[in-house]
Chain A
Amino acid sequence: MDFAFTDDQLALREAVRRFCDAEYPAHQRGDPEPPALARQRQAGLAALGLHGLGIATDRGGSGLGAVETMVAAQELGRALAGGSWLPSGVLAAPLVCAAATPTQAATWLTALATGSLQAALACHEPQSRHELSDVATTAVAVDAGWRLEGRKALVLGGDSADLLLVVARVHGERRSTDGLGLFAMPAGTPGLQVQPLRLLDGRGAAHLQLDGVQVPAQQVLGTPGAAWPLIEAAAQRAAAALVADTAGALDALLAQTVDHLKTRRQFGAPLAKFQALQHRLADMALALEQVRSMACLAAMALDGDEPDQRRRLVSAAKALAGPLARRCGLDAIQMHGAMGMTDDCRIGHLAKRLITDGVLFGDASHHLDRFRAASSAVASPAPSTFVHPPLETSP
């Protein structure tokens, strides 16, 4: 049990923070990014090595782990930054690295690591809510490849992706984890319609319509029908990174709220003098520390090799962080008064990010459910007196 960062991890944090301070002016954080600016920032983040964190060293990346991803996500969350890093660098690139043939690796991985290629994972559907095995999009084998029909929803980064990784059902029932395949297709493939959209917090996404999209066999990732472990792992990486993003945004929320309470005066005194506000602030600080800790737990679990413990802790982190952080975001608006409700004030942008983080890749009830399922598979830490209560032997 060790919560210490290595010197390299601290250096990475410093580098990302410095980049964000320079690249994202404080008064514009959370504003929509024009496409050219988004590309420029992506290139900058890629130059820091962020896009190659989850790609093995022999495949063009740095082969680092979930802790480095957490460090980066926290800093990006603090600046309301990141753009397509989460969809391409966290969700897609490690998945491609895990599944790619040597030819596919040569085509895609180096470009993903340098950020010149942006990918997005299309794993949600209009009816699926948080259940990623709920896949109605079909893939049917045809000559020399596959033909896809269906709709994908809320594809994170799908608005700007060059390459879309689409989950489709090869066989099996609609909610079965068995029978899923992963099909890579460049944006602009005939039959693929991309409907770009922005989420609540300004993140780019897209709905996809697939009408008889032809995917050649060499663009299939992994074994058709057996893609679920790749999808589950990607979703876990995203969930953990979103908790880290939440920790960063909460940190910024707390700092701005502290600043506001110290400077804003009412009734002849700074707001900092009012105990009702002090106590809200204390609870916000307590929430931040807990979310930080859970981000660490989730990252450590991802780097570990126990699948049930990984499921359990990632879900615990996501279930805890979402509601706590949303409460803090909305409380911070309250503490800023009417100014907090304006688009100029950054507090509202932070609150929108916190709300969005909480819903993406599973909300609290979804993960509470997952946590319970995984907990029953993980051994109890100690044989407890209470597991076999001495109640039956009572006089």
Chain B
Amino acid sequence: MKLAFSPDDEAFRLEVRAFVQAQLPATIRRKVALGLRLEHADYVTWFNLLETRGWLTPGWPVEYGGPGWTHVQRYIFDEETLLGGAPRLIASGIQMLGPVLIRYGTPEQKARYLPDIRASRTWWAQGFSEPGSGSDLASLRSTGVLEPDGQHFVVNGHKVWTSYAQWCSMMFALVRTDLRTGPEAPKPQEGISFLLIDMASPGVTVRPIRMLEGGTDLNEVFLDNVRVPVENLVGELHKGWGCAKFLLGNERTGIAGIGSCKQQLARAHALAAAQGLADDALLQARLAQFEIELLALESTALRWLAHGQRSAIPKAEASMLKIRGTELRQAIFETLLDIGGPQALPFSAEAQFLDAPDDSRVTPPELATLAANALDARKLSIYGGSNEVQRNLIAQALLAG
């Protein structure tokens, strides 16, 4: 047991730090620091820079273009990039679909889709949730009927909360393909298939949803007699739930968001100083308490990661990281709002853009996004399996047997 990182890891840390300092464009750094909206082009720019070093897909095996990092290197990479002001990696293609294709995809699917994810040419939408299926994902009702010639599925349904669908040319979706009813009906988790859908197909309609903080990055996706070639089935027919569970297990660990916690805690310290609250004893005690809780979260993640790669963390432990990481991040975002004080109340959705017109600047830019960021952070305990579902899973594991 040893606290210090190895010299190799320290050298790696400096390498990542130097890369971020030298390569991350100042406009992107500034948007992240102020909690402003990032555009598609911002992500693509940063992701392409990462890909020049082979750093975009840390969780992928080396033979598929992953960097072959240890868990400690991945942790250092997250910490250094996020503290350096870089955007987080958008999960859907890199962290969700990529590993699923690598594990379950055909050689043709891998060859066709993985290079475009690495090059940020294809953005993937996640077609899981439906209006009637949130935490209870297995109740989903979208259907895919295989045509008699066996060449296409015809997909009908309604997906919702689809992040960045407006930027996406492809979607991976769960649809019900075993439609038997009555005594023959399969269990809810059975009879679901994992399909790849071209968003340009006839019958696909994307409608943005306006959220309470003013954002429109979540969407509804309507699927109306959409024809999906049978070669776009991932894994076996009716066995898509296995792919989904594999994907969600990866997602849960990733959304502990330790690097993001550090990023926002650093933002809180800087903002507190700028607001003249550096000596406010109650606020500083709150921030110190967050730092301690972050140490506990981080050392727990590192302790478990020491036993293998991320996906090897058992389900209940991944759930614990998800709960603690998201609740801590929410608490930090709420404290940021408190640091803003009354000046954080004037609100303009436009102020969340860097190039907002001057007449929308109702409050200084470093305060303009605090309320929106705090409200947006509510999603953390809802998505990826709500924190209540995570607690159910932990209890089930403890009470089994």
Residues of A in contact with B (beta carbons under 8 Å apart):
1-5, 9, 67, 254, 258, 261-262, 272, 275, 278-279, 281-283, 285-286, 289-294, 296-297, 299-301, 303-304, 309, 313, 316, 319-320, 368, 371-372, 375, 381-391, 394-395
Contact = CB atoms under 8 A, between A and B. Distances in A.
A261 to B, nearest CB: 6
A382 B288 contact: no
A386 B259 CA distance: 13
Given A304-B4, A368-B285, A384-B84, A390 B306 contact: no
A390 B33 CA distance: 8
Contacts of B84: 382-385
A272 B396 CA distance: 9
B33 A389 contact: yes
Contacts of A283: 391
Contacts of A296: 1, 299, 303
Contacts of A382: 13, 17, 79-80, 83-84
A290 B300 contact: yes
Nearest to A68: B1
Contacts of B319: 282
Contacts of A9: 1
A227 B132 CA distance: 68
Given A290-B296, A291-B296, A316-B291, 4 more contacts: A282-B392, A368-B288, A375-B288, A382-B79
A385 B366 contact: no
Given A258-B399, A281-B395, A300 B3 contact: yes
B353 to A, nearest CB: 13
Interface residues of B, number: 62
A63 to B, nearest CB: 16
Contact of B320 (A285, A368, A384, A390): A285
A184 B30 CA distance: 61
Contacts of B2: 1-2, 300, 303
16 contacts: A1-B5, A1-B302, A5-B1, A254-B398, A281-B399, A282-B391, A289-B320, A316-B295, A368-B292, A383-B21, A384-B263, A384-B266, A385-B83, A386-B83, A387-B269, A394-B365
Contact of B17 (A286, A293, A375, A383): A383
A293 B324 CA distance: 14
Contacts of B267: 386, 389
Contacts of A289: 300, 317, 320
B323 A286 contact: yes
Contacts of B303: 3, 292-293, 296
B386 to A, nearest CB: 12
A384 B390 CA distance: 32
Contacts of B365: 391, 394-395
B115 interface: no
Given A283-B391, A316-B295, A372-B284, A387 B270 contact: yes
Given A285-B394, A289-B300, A390 B274 contact: no
Nearest to B361: A395
A314 to B, nearest CB: 12
Interface in B21-55: 21, 26, 29-30, 32-34
